[in-house]
Amino acid sequence: MSSTRPSPNTATISLPASGCNVNQAELPDNALILPPTHQLQALLTIIRDEKTQRGDFVFTSDRIIRLLVEEGLNHLPVVPKTVRTPVGMDFDGVSFQGRICGVSIMRAGEAMEAGLRDCCRSVRIGKILIQRDEETALPKLFYAKLPEDIAERYVLLLDPMLATGGSCIKAIEVLMSHGVREDRILFLNLIASPEGINNVCNLFPKLRMITAWVDEGLDGHRYIVPGLGDFGDRYFL
């Protein structure tokens, strides 16, 4: 994979002394972080706790995922629409422009599918499996099952953890190779590292990324710290 293209929209992310979050102004222009409300911080505290049992982990993760999906839908284009209310009055509102689909990066991303379906009934969902190539140490595509008309849709790309960004970048390349426009991709993510955000947003400046929290960074093993461990294992096992 070639090195990332420089982008004037990418900012250097600096963490406050507490090491727990960043301000929106410190993010690249095409990245958004959910407001750090007390509710969100409490939910994240639960799923980070190593003592949290699977049932509570799944329930709490699903609540955060719902917040991410709702925010993602806020960024879809709309067109004016007037409807007649039951009292015989017109209401000038809007309706979504264009169709959407979800694409989960297996397997952890599959945990976010239910949250998307809760908000969008009968939404079509594709899957991409990317693993590390042992010979090249680069992310390699092993499987992709996408809607046939995905090039005509807005795509919500789902993956809860963003470390280096390698898998996400590969998934975006797969989507674009199937005709999806970069500006029609919204990447939804629970916890991200500053390195991963810059890597993805620098390479794809027209994509929009929405994350719930930005952690301190990566350790020597490229694990997100403080992180929460292996999201897929804690959610599914």
Residues annotated as catalytic (active site), given as ranges: 132, 136, 230, 233
- The answer to whether the CB of 105 falls within 8 A of the CB of 158 is yes
Of 104, 82, 101, the closest CA to residue 93 belongs to 82
| DSSP string for residues in 113-133 | HHHHHHHSTT-EEEEEEEEE-
| Integer Rg of the chain from CA | 18
Of 228, 214, 193, the closest CA to residue 36 belongs to 214
Stated length of the chain: 237
Tokens 């620098």 map to which residue?
Answer: 202
**Measured distance CA(7)–CA(4) in Å, rounded:** 9
